[in-house]
Structure 1
Amino acid sequence: MTVLSGTMVRPYEQPATVRSQVTVPLRFPDGFMATAEVMTFHGLSDGQEHLLLALGEWEQTLLDQGSSGKAPLVRLHSECLTGDVFGSERCDCGPQLREAVEEISAVGGFLLYLRQEGRGIGLYSKLDAYALQDQGMDTYEANLALGRGEDERDYSSAAQMLGALGAGRISLLTNNPDKVGQLAALGINVREQVPTGVHLSEANHRYLSAKRNHTAHTIELPEAMPGDVPASAPASVQVPTHDELLARVDALVPRLRERAEETERIRQVPEATMAELKEAGVFQMLAPKAVGGFGMGLETYVQVVRRLAQGCVSTAWSVGHLVEHVWMLARWPQQAQDEVFANGPAPLAAATGAPPGKAAEVPGGFTISGRWSFASGVMHSEWALLAAQHGGARMQFLVPVAELELLDVWHTAGLRGTGSNDLRAAGLFVPAHRALAWDRLAAADNPGSSIHPDPNIHVPMATFLNMVAPAAALGAAEHALEVFRGLMMVRKVKQTVQLRQADSPLAQARFTQAYGQVATARLHWEEAVRVVSGAYERPPVTFTDEERSRYRLSLGLSGAASAEAVRLILTGSGGSVHRLSHPLQRIQRDVNVLLNHASLTMDPILEQAGRGLLDLGFSIPAEQF
C-alpha cells in the first residue's frame, strides 16, 4: 500500500485547470460503444499527461452531488499497455477498463486514465517484473526485487483533476482500498466504494490472489486455478474428452429405450435414468471448470442431445434443457452463483418465459407474479429461471422451485415424459441478487464472462437455445430408421409375394427415401453447428444477418427432413406399429410436438431467413430470431 507523504497537496491547495476538451466516440473490440468528453489539464503536480474521460450524464451528476444527491461514479485507471491495448491476460486491466466505461456511461461520471504504468514503475520495469514472476515471485515481490516500491502510484493529480471539475464528492469504482485512502487524504469525499468485477483467467489467478492477500483488494476467488482438477480428485470429477463423454452416453441408450414407455407413463424422466445421467457427468458438461464442471462446447452438447434422442426423445429434451440451464446459471453475477453452485457443479433448474410474468421493484429486490408454461425439467429441478416484465424491460428471476406452485397440466400427445408443467406465483419476493436484466444475461459480455474463462460462457445465449429441438428430432429419426430396417428384414406384408418386406422393390425405394431424408436432416444440422461454431472462433462472438439466417434455416430444414423421414417410415410399417407399446408411434408423436417448437416452426423461419439472406434486415430484433 502506498504511504502518503507530507508533501502531497489537496486539489484546492494546488489547483489544476482544464486545458482542452474534445469529443471522442469509443468502440471496444466486443462492439460496445460510448461517447467520451476527453479533457487535458494544466498544473498537474507530477507533470504527466493524464486524461479524464467524462461519460454519460456527467454534467448532471455534478449538479446533483450535494449531501443528499447522487455522486458521479469515478474510476482511477492506471495505464497498462499490455492489458489495455494488447489484451494481455496476465492482469485484469483491459476488462476493467471496458467495464468501467460501460458502468460510468450508464450513470454519469469520470474515468481518469493515469499514466502510471506498472504501478508507477514504468513499462520496461513492469516487463522485467513479469520475468521475475515467471520464476515464482508475486507482483509485489518482483517490484521490490527490482529495487522499486511495491506500488509507487500517487493519486495527487487525480484529485486535482476531480477538483478542477468540482467533483469533490464521488462514488469510486474500485476493489483497491489504497485508492480510497489516498483520495480521502487528498480531500475528496468518497461517498461509496463500488466494487469492480472479478475478471479471472488462468493467467492472472496468482496476480489477483496477490492483490487480495497482500493489499486487501476486495476480490473473491476460487482457491484453485480455473480449470484445475486436483490429482486426488475422484474419477467422477475428472474432465472427460469429447469422445469419452459420448461413449458414456451411448452406453445409456439401450436402457433409455427400455424405459421409454415408463418415461411416458409417469410423465417425467425416471429417477434411475437421472441417477445414471448424473453418474456419467452429463449435467456438468457445460458448467465452468472452476465450479467442477467440464467447460465443454457446443459440438459436445448437441451431440449428447442427439444421441440421447436415439434412446428416448423425452429424456433428450429434458436433459438438453437441464444442461443448458446449468450453463445459464453460470452467466449470473458471483453472489447468485455462490448460492446455486454451493452443492455441486450441476444445479438443476427449469427455465420458462412463456408467457412472461410481471415484476415490481420493492426494497431489497422485486416481487413477481404470473403463470409460466412449458417448464421442461421442472420435475427434477431445485431452481426455476422465470422471465417477467419490469416496466419496459424483460428480466429473469432465479427462484427456488419450492417457493412456487407446481401445476400438473402436462397431458400431451407427444413429449409426455418431459413433465413440462406450469408454475405459478403471486407477489413472490425475489432478492435483488437473484434478478437480472435479460439483455445482460443473454449477451456474450454477461456477468459470468468476467468470472469464468471457459469459452462457452463468452457467447450469446440464443445460439444454444435453438439447438435442442433439431438435435432431438434428428436423433429420433435416426432411431426410427434403425427400427424400420429391422422390421423390413423380418416383416411379411399382406397381399405381396415376397417373404419379407426388404425383398420388395417398392419397400426398398421407401427405405431409400427415408434414409435420404435422414441424411438430409443430418447434413443441414451439421451445417448449422458449423456456422455457429465458426462464429465462436472469432471473438467477440457476433453473427451477421446472413449467418443467423443460414443456421436458423438449416436447423428448420433439418427438423422438417427428420419429420418427413419418420412419416415415410410410419406409412410403410403397418398397423401394428401404432400400438402404444411400439417405439415408432412414440417417435412420431414426439417429433410432431417438436415441430411446433419455435426453433422448428418453419413459417417465421422462412420469412426472417429470407429477409436476412436478401439483406433486407429482420422485421424482428435479431436476438429474437
Structure 2
Amino acid sequence: MPAKQAMTLEAPPGAVAAARAVAPRLSARAGESEQLATMPADLVSEVRQAGLFRLATPRALGGAELPPAVLVEVGEELCRADGSAGWTIMIGNSTAFLAWLDPAVAVELLGERTDVITACVFAPKGRLTPEGAGRFRLDGRWSFSSGCRHADWFVGGAMVADRDGPRMIPGRGPDWRLAVLPARDSTVIENWDVAGLRGTGSHDVTTSAVLVPERHTTASFFEPARHDGPLWRFPFFALAGTFLAGFPLGVARRALDEFARLAATKMRVPEQTSIAEEGDVQVALARAEGGLQSARAFVFETIGAMWDTACAGDVPTLDQRARFLLATQQAMRAALEAVDIAYSLAGSTVLPMNHPLHRCFRDIHTGAQHIYFSSASAKRYAKTRLGIDQPTFWL
C-alpha cells in the first residue's frame, strides 16, 4: 500500500444538488420502474450524465471520490425520491471497489470511461477454478444483482477452488475474492418479482466457464485498497456501508413527509376533523420524527469520527467502525418504525400499490432484509463492545 498521506478532500460542488435535480423525475416515474422491474433506460442515461454513478470512484480513475458523509447525503436524497432508484444508483457506484485492484489494472479495465456502472454481489456464490498460470475459470449464479440490466461491469463474490473444496489461506480461512468482469460475459436471469424495491432489477446473474485473469480478482474483505487518501483507508465493508446508510433515512423521510401532507386533508367521519388534529396522531408523529432524526444524527456522527481518523492518515479504529455499524442498524430500526407509524395512521387511502406511502412501506421492509441490516450485523457491534473475539473484516 502507498505511504500514508494526511489530507482533507473537499466535496466537489454539485453532487447533492445533482441528486435533488434528478429526484422529481425519479419520483414521478417510480411506478414505471416497478412495471419494468428496472430503472428506465433514459433515466439511467440522465443519472449517468449527472455523474451520479461515479460518486466514490477514485479520482485517478475519473471519479469524484466524495467523502463518505456526502455519499450518505446523496443516497438519502435519491431514496427520498424513490427507494428503488436510490438503491440502484448507490449500488451502481460499486465501481469504487476497483480501488482494490492494482491501479494500472483498473485503468486498463476502464479505459477512457469515467461513467461506468457496476453491479456487485459480495456473496461467494461463484467458484474460481485455477486455469493455468495467472487466470481462473469462473462459474456461478448470484442473486439480488441490483441494476444488472444496465451495468457495464459485474463484480461477484467467489471462492477459489482447491482439490478438496475452497482454497484455505493461513490465518484467514477460505480464499474469498471478488472477481471483476464485463457485464457482457454474464447472463441475466429475469426473475425479480418481489414486494418492494421492485424497480431495482435485482435479477440473478450467471456465468459459466468465463476466463478471468487473476489480476482482475481482489481479496477486498481482507486487504487494504491500492489507492491512497482518506476514503481508501476505510476498510471494504465500512465503505460499502456508506452506500447503504442513506437508504433507510431517505425512504423514512419520504414516508413522514407524505403522511404530514395527507394528515392535513384526511377527514374522520362523522367528526369531520382532520386526523392531523388528533392528539394520538400528533404524539405518534413526534415519536417517529424524533427517532428518525436522532438516528440520522448518529449516522453522521460516526461517519465523521471515522473520516477524521482517515484524514489524519490512519485506518478508522475497530470501535469507530463498530459504532458506525450500530448507527446504520439504528437508522433502519428508526426508519421501520417511522414508516410503519405513517402507514398505519394513514388508513385505507394508501392501500393502492402506486401510492408513495405504500411504496415506502414495501421498500423499507424489503431493504431491511439485506444482510447489512440483519441481526448478524447487530451482533458484530455487540461482540466488539463485549470484547468477544470475532473476524473483524466485517466491520
Deviation by residue 1:295-334 (Cα, 9 ceiling, x = unmatched):
22111111110110110111111111111x1211233114
Give the equivalent residue in structure 1 for 2:108: 339
Q: Does 1:259 align with 2:18?
A: no
The CA distance in 1 between the partners of 2:144 and 2:354, in whole Å, is 26
Q: CA deviation at 1:500?
A: 1.7
Q: CA deviation at 1:582?
A: 0.5
Change (3 A) 1:410 1:502: same
CA radius of gyration, larger in: 1
The CA distance in 2 between the partners of 1:606 and 1:353, in whole Å, is 19
Q: CA deviation at 1:463?
A: 0.6
Give the equivalent residue in structure 1 for 2:184: 402
**Contact 2:85/2:199 (8 A) holds in 1:** yes
The CA distance in 2 between the partners of 1:532 and 1:305, in whole Å, is 19
Deviation by residue 1:5-28 (Cα, 9 ceiling, x = unmatched):
xxxxxxxxxxxxxxxxxxxxxxxx
Give the equivalent residue in structure 2 for 1:250: 20
Matches for 1:432-451 after TM superposition, within 5 Å: 432-439=214-221, 443-444=223-224, 446-447=225-226, 449=227
Q: CA deviation at 1:349?
A: 1.4
Q: Does 1:489 align with 2:274?
A: no
Give the equivalent residue in structure 1 for 2:118: 349
Deviation by residue 1:67-94 (Cα, 9 ceiling, x = unmatched):
xxxxxxxxxxxxxxxxxxxxxxxxxxxx
**Aligned partner letter, 2:287:** Q
Q: Does 1:362 align with 2:136?
A: no
**Contact 2:84/2:363 (8 A) holds in 1:** yes
Report the secondary structure of 1:249's partner residue.
Answer: helix
Change (3 A) 1:340 1:414: same
Give the equivalent residue in structure 2 for 1:425: 207
Give the equivalent residue in structure 2 for 1:555: 328
Matches for 1:274-353 after TM superposition, within 5 Å: 274-323=44-93, 325-353=94-122
Q: What TM-score, normalized to structure 2?
A: 0.89
**Contact 1:242/1:300 (8 A) holds in 2:** no
**Contact 2:12/2:64 (8 A) holds in 1:** no
**Contact 1:383/1:400 (8 A) holds in 2:** yes
The CA distance in 1 between the partners of 2:302 and 2:328, in whole Å, is 6
**Contact 1:531/1:551 (8 A) holds in 2:** no
Report the secondary structure of 1:336's partner residue.
Answer: helix
Change (3 A) 1:541 1:353: same
Matches for 1:505-520 after TM superposition, within 5 Å: 505-520=279-294
Give the equivalent residue in structure 2 for 1:522: 296
Q: CA deviation at 1:454?
A: 4.3
**Aligned partner letter, 1:462:** F
Report the secondary structure of 1:581's partner residue.
Answer: coil
The CA distance in 2 between the partners of 1:551 and 1:331, in whole Å, is 22
Moved more, 288-297 or 306-315: 288-297
**Contact 1:384/1:398 (8 A) holds in 2:** yes
Deviation by residue 1:431-487 (Cα, 9 ceiling, x = unmatched):
233233345xx533x33x1xxx44323432111212333311110111111111100
Match among 247, 250, 261 for residue 472 of structure 1 = 247
Q: CA deviation at 1:534?
A: 3.1
Report the secondary structure of 2:393's partner residue.
Answer: helix
Q: What TM-score, normalized to structure 1?
A: 0.58
Q: CA deviation at 1:498?
A: 4.3
**Aligned partner letter, 1:428:** V
Report the secondary structure of 2:338's partner residue.
Answer: helix
Matches for 1:201-280 after TM superposition, within 5 Å: 241-280=11-50
Give the equivalent residue in structure 2 for 1:389: 159
Report the secondary structure of 1:623's partner residue.
Answer: coil
Give the equivalent residue in structure 2 for 1:462: 237
Change (3 A) 1:616 1:291: closer
Unaligned segments of structure 1, at least 5 residues = 1-29, 31-94, 99-198, 202-238
The CA distance in 2 between the partners of 1:426 and 1:267, in whole Å, is 25
Q: CA deviation at 1:243?
A: 4.8
Change (3 A) 1:291 1:605: closer
The CA distance in 2 between the partners of 1:431 and 1:548, in whole Å, is 32
Change (3 A) 1:574 1:242: farther
Structure that is richer in helix per residue? 2
**Contact 2:100/2:220 (8 A) holds in 1:** no
Give the equivalent residue in structure 2 for 1:569: 342
Equivalent pairs, count:
381
Give the equivalent residue in structure 2 for 1:374: 144
